[in-house]
């Protein structure tokens, strides 16, 4: 006789439940309603190591509030009252106009749902046309309304426009210029080559007309040089400040890098005080891991009297950025967003057959899935077996693409490759092709020779100088960071003039001047980002593919992709989706920043942190979390059970135990006898899937017959039925029901038939009481294990008892659903409460306290938080590790070093390429070798001491000081160069690309300039002269050749 299993045996005795409840109440009494326990300060081991108990919450003024609020378990209303950042007023966003090519809508204040627009490329319902742009304005909370009458007319009445353009402005350009005429800041987000530079030119013209100063910032020095040349031809009163070059620094229009602007703000420069407008080009660089903080600091530190022009690639949260600007400077900021391309794009894939292109996405954004399947077939990928091994782009395949571009008149074209070596290899691959006529070759040679005339005879004989000329004469160019800067500029100039027909470039070419092509080709969709090999993001793809299509010349731009063997549909759809990357904060703390802010009378580190975009985004997410918590609380309050909650809880646990037993039974489904029952039409349930799936006969749908797998028709979360090949280990339940299957599953009709028959079976067995009958593993599959018998016995008892309960209380099933939903909502609410603890506190507060302890321990700040001589020196160093270099100065490590050796040693502080060799490339003379080893040992000792102080202060590992990245080859090369050797000899020692060595030398020179300023601040003239002499040894020949744009 079988022993009956009661619910108490499954759930545990009453005494056990009571003990568990008592322990839970005791824990809640100590730590609140959650098991989370605050992490208090403690000492680890013998060493005093401080760990902050909690981050500090600050109000907008930077003063500390309650340091460790017991928020866990509190309601949303209590949370809003507790924290000032959550209860404060925030900027509002109004939609002014949604413009199309045929009309516009008027001023309206959006609802909460419309305030943030997810897809700005919406359709205008009255015309059915695609929106040209959306214009919104963010205003301070103190303004009750916004007067849009000043933006209603273009061109402005009463006076001519500040600048007349030789072409008709697009709608988004007109909207932005209206904002400039109204004297208000504007954020312009548009695709590459859309015409954002015209807005910058109008802002410059407006400032010059009003005799005001305007500052134009760019992310890199090369782009600053290019813009200087462009604006100098348009406006006369233009200056350039990049650190390397200073031209006309008193001009009304100053072009500079963002780092130069931040340095001016730290020093309180009069140039910044006189500025009326500041233009930030490529502001989406603010999310850059290394340099993004420079943009944030500059925007925060600029005075409220300044008005801004932000030019960016398309970003989905442009309005959030504008709201941050309003919160900082308490003045309206407009957002003009357009996803309209001046030239629409068509995206093709290169077939494995090498003789055709297949359309993947058209101008309207439609993805051609069947064409993608054709490509997969050509690549011979079995999507049910898994991806096959990847293949490289063959020379014949690449030449086929170039010939296709020539035959279809798709020149000029850009070939994007994510490897510098691959760019040069592909250029050699088409060395036999001649794309320029004799007249064009003569022009190329004339431009090239005139540019190279500035170099000495030795540098003109360098290998890259000679080979690049022959390549360019044939109409082929290469552009990557490994080239000489002067060679890159020649390539850019020739490409703009149409003398380079095929340009092989890395993604750095996507940043810069308007240099469109007719066609863009991607050799791969994966790249190495310095950490991992990954697919490019949709935003990166937008930036590069946007080079295709020349405005006014091409009806459409052509983009061709070479798909790899492991490319799947989801990845490709994501890349081609056109959804830009969100603008996120990369704010981080640095010792140079903290000391400069400490020295300033107007700002403090806490004030900068609380006003950062990172803090703004965190508080906004916290507010959204509070709103979500309110919704969860309201939803949970509306849950009412028909039966007693204890009964519902007990029945729910019986259900959970039944599911656990089914999971244990499913392990026995891996035996071969199960295959006899996996016939066409069998219904089964898979793990983590609440829907029934249907077994498919492989012959029915053309699938290969798998030995250890089976094919199912499975209903996904979106309700769509899809065919999959799975392993037996994924089976959880096998029913005794088989449905009649149609002959094919390729059509929508056949799939709907299968769906209807499955639902019909479920309805039938539900009506007779219970679910679908199951196959018995013991009697049907012949499995005789005792453990399985015990599980089946327990399962039958549980099902019998549950059916009795359900028969007497028919509403119990509905209560069970509500109870399960409440159990799901409770952890969500708890998680939101925990997240709020982090999001609504001051970001990096713990790091700030730890870094301040480091500065005090090392003697950079005194007891009154005033800068010591060490602190003043550290303030001037930002291009390398400021702590190590400051300690080296004060310990005299650099003082006794020979002048040619100083730049060589400093290379380890700026080198961004990983060192490959562990030994010196050449045998230096004994004195130098011995001196070099001693210096490295001294610096190693300094790094170890600083790291110990940082660890003792409680800094996380990513903030702890590391050894310089010394490359013995680079050290030998720079030392040889400073000793007077020609560049060809230094390059042989370096074993890197020419451009990489030059970039390292120029960055070393930047560090030397900062070291000079640093020691000058403490009156060390002798050491300043030594640094000046070292810099003079670097400054010669091709390494510091003048830019062709100047």
Q: What is the pLDDT of residues 374-425, one digit of tens each?
A: 887 776 543 444 444 445 677 888 888 888 888 888 889 999 998 899 999 9
572, 369 in Cβ contact below 8 A? no
8 A C-beta contact, residue 416 and residue 546: no
Do domains 205-313 and 846-1040 share one topology? The answer is no
pLDDT of residue 1001: 95
Contact between residue 543 and residue 510 where contact means Cβ atoms under 8 Å apart: yes
Q: Which two tokens stand for residue 670?
A: 């891996």
pLDDT(667) > 80: no
How many H helices and E strands in the chain? 38, 24
Range from 129-138, 401-410, 616-625, 684-693 that averages highest in pLDDT: 401-410
The two tokens of residue 609 are 């942190």
- The pLDDT tens digits for 848-866 are 999 999 999 999 998 888 8
Within 10 angstroms of residue 556's Cβ, the number of other Cβ atoms is: 15
CA dihedral 712, 715, 721, 726 (to 10 degrees): -30
**DSSP strand pairing (721-727 vs 246-247):** unpaired
pLDDT of the residue at 807: 52
CA 389 – CA 265 distance, rounded (Å) = 54
Exposure string over 518-527, b if 16+ CB within 10 A, otherwise e: bbbbbbbbbb
DSSP 398: H
The predicted pLDDT at position 440 comes to 93
Residue 937 has pLDDT above 80, yes or no: yes
Note the pLDDT of residue 259: 92
How far apart CA 33 and CA 689 sit, in angstroms, is 32
982 C-beta neighbours (distance < 10 Å), count? 16
Integer Cα distance of 123 and 765 in angstroms? 47
Q: Does domain 93-191+315-340 have CATH number 3.40.50.300?
A: yes
Higher pLDDT, 660 or 943: 943
Q: Is the dihedral of CA 178, 184, 189, 191 positive or negative?
A: positive
Can you tell me whether residue 726 is helix, strand or coil? strand
Mean pLDDT, the chain, whole residue set: 78
Q: Which one is the CATH code of 846-1040: 1.10.3380.30, 3.40.50.620, 2.40.128.260, 3.40.720.10?
A: 1.10.3380.30
Residue with tokens 């040894």: 1033
What does the CA dihedral 54, 60, 64, 67 come to, rounded to 10 degrees? -30
Q: Model confidence over 615-641: pLDDT tens digits? A: 888 888 777 777 776 676 676 666 666
Radius of gyration of the chain (CA): 34
C-alpha atoms less than 13 angstroms from C-alpha of 331 in its C-beta half-sphere: 13
Closest CA to 350 of 336, 360, 341: 360
How far apart, in Å, do the first and last CA atoms of the chain sit? 99
Q: pLDDT, tens digit, for every residue of 321-360?
A: 999 999 999 999 999 998 888 888 999 987 765 567 889 9
Which class for 779: exposed (0-12), middle (13-18), buried (19 or more C-beta within 10 A)?
A: exposed
Q: Cα–Cα distance between 672 and 556 in angstroms, integer?
A: 58
Q: Is beta strand 413-416 parallel, antiparallel or unpaired with respect to 519-522?
A: parallel
Give the dihedral sign, CA 426/415/480/584.
Answer: negative
Kindly compute the dihedral angle of the four CA atoms of residues 17, 23, 27, 32, in this order, to the nearest 10 degrees. 30
Between 53 and 670, the higher pLDDT residue: 670
pLDDT in tens, 818-851: 766 666 666 666 666 666 665 556 788 889 999 9
- Domain 345-576 architecture: 3-Layer(aba) Sandwich (3.40)
Can you tell me the distance from the alpha carbon of 612 to that of 848, in angstroms, rounded to the nearest whole number? 14
Q: At residue 1025, does pLDDT exceed 80?
A: yes
| 205-313 classified as CATH 3.40.640.10 | no
3-state secondary structure 960-1009: CCCCCCCCHHHHHHHHHHHCCCCHHHHHHHHCCCHHHHHHHHHHHHHHHH
Q: Helix (H, G, I), strand (E, B), or coil: what is residue 301? A: helix
What separation in angstroms does the CA of 470 have from each of 275, 444, 1031? 47, 10, 35
Sequential DSSP letters for 316-379: TTHHHHHHHHHHHH-S-EEEEE----SS-EEEEEE-TTSS-EEEEE-TT--B-HHHHHHHHHHT
CA-based nearest residue to 221, from 259, 269, 250? 259
From the list 473, 501, 506, the residue with the least C-alpha distance to 488 is 506
Exposure b/e, 709-727, CB count within 10 A at least 16 = b: bbbbbbbeeeeebebbbbe
Neighbours of 16 (CB within 10 A): 11
Query: Token pair of 398, please?
Result: 């690449």
The number of beta carbons lying within 10 Å of the beta carbon of residue 472 is 24
566: confidence class by pLDDT, cuts 50, 70, 90: confident
The total number of residues written for the chain in this structure = 1046
| Closest to 371 in 3D by CA, of 392, 390, 349, 354 | 349
CA 276 to chain centroid, in Å, comes to 32
Q: Residue 126's pLDDT is what?
A: 27
Report angle CA 789, 790, 791 to the nearest 5 degrees: 90
The strand pair at 731-738 and 476-479 is best described as: unpaired
* Spatial distance between the Cα atoms of 938 and 887, rounded to a whole number of angstroms: 11
Helix (H) or strand (E) segment spanning residue 257: strand 253-257
Distance between CA atoms of 361 and 347, rounded to whole angstroms?
5
Cα separation, 790 vs 59, in Å, equals 62
Cβ contact 23:47 at 8 Å:
no
Instruction: Tell me if 8 sits within 8 A of 653, measured CB to CB.
Output: no
Closest CA to 459 of 451, 907, 476, 222: 451
**What's the confidence (pLDDT) of residue 806?**
59
- Alpha-carbon distance of 228 to 249, in angstroms, equals 12
Distance (Å, whole) CA 195 – CA 342:
9
Look at residues 850, 885, 884, 855 and name the one whose alpha carbon lies nearest to residue 871.
855
Task: Find how far residue 259's CA is from the centre of its chain.
Answer: 21
Higher per-residue pLDDT: 78 or 167:
167
Does residue 241 or residue 733 have the better pLDDT?
241
The pTM assigned to this predicted structure is 0.74
Q: Which residue has the tokens 């790899």?
A: 564
User: What is the band of 811 on the pLDDT scale with cuts at 50, 70, 90?
Assistant: low
Residue 173: closest CA among 186, 160, 157: 186
> Which of 50-59, 160-169, 235-244, 676-685 has the least mean pLDDT?
50-59
With cut-offs at 50, 70 and 90, classify the pLDDT of residue 94: confident
Span 718-773, pLDDT tens digits: 667 777 777 777 787 888 888 888 877 767 788 788 888 888 888 877 665 567 88
**pLDDT at residue 675 is higher than 70:** yes
- List, in order, residues 6 or more apart from 647 with CB less than 8 Å away: 809, 812
Taking the C-alpha atoms of residue 963 and residue 968, their distance in angstroms, rounded to an integer, is 14
Q: φ, ψ for residue 233 (rounded to 5)?
A: -75, -20
How far apart are the C-alpha atoms of 520 and 518, rounded to whole Å?
A: 7
**Annotated domain spans of the chain:** 93-191+315-340, 205-313, 345-576, 645-810, 846-1040
Residue with token string 């059970």: 641
């Amino acid at each position: 006789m079988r022993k009956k299993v009661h619910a108490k045996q499954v759930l545990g005795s009453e005494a056990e439940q009571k003990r568990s409840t008592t322990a839970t109440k005791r824990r809640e009494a100590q730590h609140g309603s959650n098991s989370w326990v605050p992490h208090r300060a403690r000492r680890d081991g013998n060493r005093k190591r401080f760990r902050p108990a909690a981050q500090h919450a600050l109000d907008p003024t930077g003063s500390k509030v309650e340091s460790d609020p017991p928020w866990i378990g509190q309601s949303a209303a209590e949370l809003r009252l507790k924290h000032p950042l959550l209860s404060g007023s925030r900027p509002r966003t109004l939609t002014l106009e949604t413009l199309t090519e045929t009309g516009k809508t008027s001023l309206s204040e959006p609802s909460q749902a419309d305030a943030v627009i997810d897809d700005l490329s919406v359709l205008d319902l009255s015309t059915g046309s695609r929106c040209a742009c959306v214009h919104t304005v963010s205003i301070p909370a103190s303004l009750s309304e916004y007067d849009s009458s000043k933006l209603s007319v273009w061109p402005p009445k009463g006076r001519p426009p500040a600048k007349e353009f030789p072409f008709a402005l697009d709608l988004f350009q007109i909207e932005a210029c209206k904002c400039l005429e109204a004297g208000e800041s504007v954020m312009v987000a548009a695709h590459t080559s859309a015409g954002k530079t015209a807005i910058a030119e109008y802002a410059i013209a407006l400032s010059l007309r009003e005799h005001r100063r305007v500052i134009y910032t760019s992310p890199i020095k090369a782009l600053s040089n290019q813009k200087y040349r462009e604006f100098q031809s348009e406006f006369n009163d233009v200056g350039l400040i990049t650190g390397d070059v200073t031209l006309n620094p008193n001009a009304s229009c100053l072009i500079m890098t963002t780092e130069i602007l931040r340095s001016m703000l730290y020093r309180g420069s009069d140039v910044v005080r006189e500025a009326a407008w500041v233009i930030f080009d490529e502001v989406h660089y603010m999310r850059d891991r290394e340099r993004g903080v420079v943009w944030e600091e500059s925007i925060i530190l600029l005075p409220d009297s300044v008005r801004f022009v932000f030019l960016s690639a398309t970003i989905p949260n442009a309005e959030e950025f504008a709201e941050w600007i309003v919160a900082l400077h308490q003045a309206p900021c407009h957002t003009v967003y357009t996803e309209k391309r001046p030239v629409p794009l068509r995206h093709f894939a290169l077939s494995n057959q090498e003789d055709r292109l297949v359309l993947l996405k058209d101008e309207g954004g439609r993805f051609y899935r069947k064409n993608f399947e054709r490509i997969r077939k050509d690549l011979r990928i079995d999507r049910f077996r898994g991806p096959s091994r990847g293949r490289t782009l063959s020379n014949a395949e690449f030449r086929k693409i170039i010939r296709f571009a020539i035959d279809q008149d798709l020149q000029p074209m850009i070939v994007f490759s994510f490897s510098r070596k691959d760019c040069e290899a592909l250029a050699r691959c088409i060395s036999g092709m001649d794309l320029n006529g004799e007249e064009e070759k003569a022009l190329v040679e004339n431009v090239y020779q005139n540019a190279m005339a500035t170099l000495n005879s030795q540098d003109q004989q360098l290998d890259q100088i000679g080979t690049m000329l022959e390549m360019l004469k044939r109409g082929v160019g290469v552009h990557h960071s490994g080239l000489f800067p002067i060679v890159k500029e020649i390539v850019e100039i020739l490409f703009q003039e149409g003398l380079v027909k095929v340009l092989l470039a890395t993604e750095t070419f996507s940043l810069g001047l308007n240099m469109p092509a007719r066609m863009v080709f991607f050799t791969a969709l994966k790249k190495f980002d310095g950490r991992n090999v990954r697919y490019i993001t949709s935003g990166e793809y937008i930036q590069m593919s946007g080079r295709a299509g020349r405005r006014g010349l091409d009806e459409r731009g052509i983009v061709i992709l070479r798909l790899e063997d492991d490319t799947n549909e989801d990845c490709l759809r994501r890349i081609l989706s056109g959804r830009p990357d969100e603008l996120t904060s990369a704010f981080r703390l640095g010792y140079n920043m903290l000391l400069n802010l400490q020295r300033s009378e107007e700002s403090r580190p806490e004030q900068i942190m609380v006003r950062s975009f990172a803090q703004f985004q965190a508080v906004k997410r916290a507010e959204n979390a509070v709103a979500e918590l309110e919704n969860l609380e309201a939803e949970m309050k509306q849950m009412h059970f028909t039966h007693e909650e204890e009964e519902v809880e007990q029945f729910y646990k019986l259900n959970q135990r039944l599911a656990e037993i089914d999971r244990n039974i499913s392990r026995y489904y891996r035996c071969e006898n199960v295959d006899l029952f996996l016939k066409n039409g069998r219904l089964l349930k898979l793990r983590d899937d609440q829907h029934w799936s249907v077994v498919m006969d492989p012959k029915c749908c053309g699938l290969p017959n798998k030995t250890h797998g089976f094919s199912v028709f499975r209903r996904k979360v979106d309700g769509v039925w899809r065919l999959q090949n799975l392993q037996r280990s994924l089976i959880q339940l096998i029913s005794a029901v088989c449905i009649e299957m149609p002959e094919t599953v390729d059509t929508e009709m056949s799939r709907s038939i299968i769906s209807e028959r499955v639902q019909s079976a479920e309805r039938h067995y539900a009506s007779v009481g219970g679910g679908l009958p199951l196959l018995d593993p013991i009697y049907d599959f012949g499995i005789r294990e005792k453990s399985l018998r015990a599980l089946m016995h327990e399962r039958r008892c549980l099902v019998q008892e549950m059916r009795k309960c359900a028969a007497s209380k028919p509403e119990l099933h509905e209560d069970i659903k509500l109870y399960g939903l409440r159990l799901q909502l409770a952890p969500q609410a708890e998680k939101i409460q925990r997240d709020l603890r982090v999001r609504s506190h001051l970001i990096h507060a713990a790091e700030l306290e730890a870094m301040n302890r480091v500065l005090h321990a090392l003697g950079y700040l005194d007891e009154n938080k005033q800068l010591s001589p060490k602190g003043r020196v550290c303030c001037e160093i930002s291009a390398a590790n400021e702590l190590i270099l400051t300690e080296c100065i004060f310990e005299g490590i650099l003082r006794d070093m020979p002048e040619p050796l100083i730049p060589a040693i400093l290379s380890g502080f700026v080198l961004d390429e990983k060192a490959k060799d562990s030994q010196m490339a050449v045998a230096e003379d004994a004195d130098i070798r011995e001196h070099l080893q001693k210096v490295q040992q001294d610096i190693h000792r300094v790094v170890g001491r600083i790291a110990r102080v940082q660890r003792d202060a409680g800094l996380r590992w990513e903030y702890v000081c590391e050894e310089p990245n010394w490359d013995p080859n680079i050290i030998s090369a720079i030392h040889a160069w400073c000793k007077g050797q020609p560049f060809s000899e230094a390059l042989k020692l370096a074993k890197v690309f020419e451009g990489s060595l030059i970039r390292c030398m120029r960055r070393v020179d930047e560090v030397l300039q900062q070291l000079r300023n640093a020691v000058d601040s403490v009156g060390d003239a002798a050491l300043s002269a030594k640094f000046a002499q070292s810099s003079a040894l670097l400054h010669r020949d091709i390494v510091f050749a003048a830019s062709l744009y100047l």
